[in-house]
Amino acid sequence: MENENQPLIIDGKKTSATIKEELAKEVVKIKEAGGKVPHLAAVLVGDDGASQTYVGAKVKACEQIGFTSTLVKLEADISEEDLLAEVDKINENPDIDGMIVQLPLPKQISVEKVTARIRPEKDVDGFTPANVGRMALNWPTYVSATPNGILELIKRYEIETSGKHCVVIGRSHIVGSPMSILMGRNDTPGNCTVTLTHSRTKNLPEICRSADILIVAIGKPEFVTKDMVKPGAVIIDVGIHRVPDETKKSGFRLIGDVKFDEVAPISSAITPVPGGVGPMTIASLLYNTLMAAQGRVYP
Ligand code: NAD
């Protein structure tokens, strides 16, 4: 029988605004106690438009909630050695609590080398091998922004995960793979039986139909259709795609990896695009920066 009830719309826009308010209150408390305000440094290499927008939004969010931020802008033709030296400078600067290096990086630079150079204590993106390892071990860590945002939505919307079958589509290092680890951990949220699927998976629709919780990070517009979803499932749509739309002032609209209009009516809860997972990422980064400033991961 299909669940044609109204699904719970998991509102990431509202939740991220709430988290930012909570963080802003923390900053006020820190200031009142004479403590040090959290300080995030963002490194931007080159002039890629999307990267500039993302970094700009992160810096602006810091300002909004009262964090200190530093934007380090570097030329696109910077050598790997010089970029590593910039990372070292931030590593050594006692005033900076957290750092991010905006990806992608130009071709001459090894992302692995740069990531590994960031001190784990300051790695608020949670991309260093040390912090990914700590996540897998369920030790205190900085969980990277998108997975952290998804966990926070699941927590705040009190979605039961224990004993559920969670199917993750996509195994990228930034979304699918960490999500599969997090949902299987002995924790709340967690304790799922997890199936991680990817481009070599056989019978994907059948596997998806057995999911109580379906997390979709495949990067293909409206890939997940109604026939791939069990009625009553919880759907987390990570995808973001621009499609031309003449009715919009911008000339485009955003859609996800899930065909929302047909999947939402049979789901029990679903994240919309836009306004679902997307807005949560900056809130997660800010939260990790506060944790760094308070020494909550590496006391
Ligand atoms: P990616 O391209 O790195 O990974 C896609 C994954 O999908 C790969 O692991 C691949 O194996 C798998 N895949 C490809 N074809 C498949 C198939 N036919 N069947 C099963 N699996 C298949 O993507 P990503 O970086 O994880 O991003 C996924 C989507 O999420 C993109 O649309 C991206 O824009 C979006 N995204 C959103 C946020 C956010 O903040 N909301 C953050 C990161 C990524």
Q: How far apart are CA 189 and CA 179, in angstroms?
A: 11
How much distance in Å is there from the Cα of 221 to the middle of ligand 1? Answer: 10
Pocket test for ligand 1, best of 172, 177, 200 (most atoms within 8 A of CB): 172
Q: Phi then psi for 57, rounded to 5 degrees?
A: -65, -35
Q: Is the pLDDT of residue 96 over 70?
A: yes
Q: How confident is the model at residue 4 (pLDDT cuts 50, 70, 90)?
A: low
Q: Which residues pair with 241 in a beta bridge?
A: 255
Q: How confident is the model at residue 5 (pLDDT cuts 50, 70, 90)?
A: confident
Q: What is the mean pLDDT of residues 13-31?
A: 98
Q: What is the mean pLDDT of residues 185-190?
A: 98
Query: What is the distance between the terminal CA atoms of the chain, rounded to a whole angstrom?
Result: 52
**Residue of 199, 270, 198, 257 lying closest to 225 (CA atoms):** 257
Domain architecture of the chain: domains with CATH: 33-120 (3.40.50.10860), 144-279 (3.40.50.720)
Count of positions (residues) in the chain: 299
Pocket test for ligand 1, best of 180, 195, 199, 200 (most atoms within 8 A of CB): 199
Q: Does residue 134 or residue 2 have the better pLDDT?
A: 134
Tokens linked to 129: 């091998």
Q: Verify whether ligand 1 is closer than 6 Å to residue 219 (CB atom).
A: yes
Which pairing describes strands 234-237 and 8-9: parallel, antiparallel, or unpaired?
unpaired
Q: Is the pLDDT of residue 3 over 80?
A: no
Task: Note the pLDDT tens digit of each residue in 191-212.
Answer: 999 999 999 999 999 999 999 9
Q: What is the mean pLDDT of residues 281-290?
A: 98
Q: Is the pLDDT of residue 262 over 80?
A: yes
User: Where does residue 2 rank: exposed (0-12), middle (13-18), buried (19+ CB within 10 A)?
Assistant: exposed
Measuring CA to CA, how many Å separate 230 from each of 62, 151, 191?
40, 21, 20
Q: What is the pTM of this model?
A: 0.96
Q: Is the pLDDT of residue 258 over 80?
A: yes
Round the average pLDDT of the chain to a whole number and report it.
Answer: 97
Q: What is the mean pLDDT of residues 38-52?
A: 96
Q: How far apart are CA 212 and CA 72, in angstroms?
A: 43
What confidence score (pLDDT) does residue 1 get?
46
Task: Note the pLDDT tens digit of each residue in 206-229.
Answer: 999 999 999 999 999 999 999 999
Q: Which helix (H) or strand (E) holds 214?
A: strand 213-216
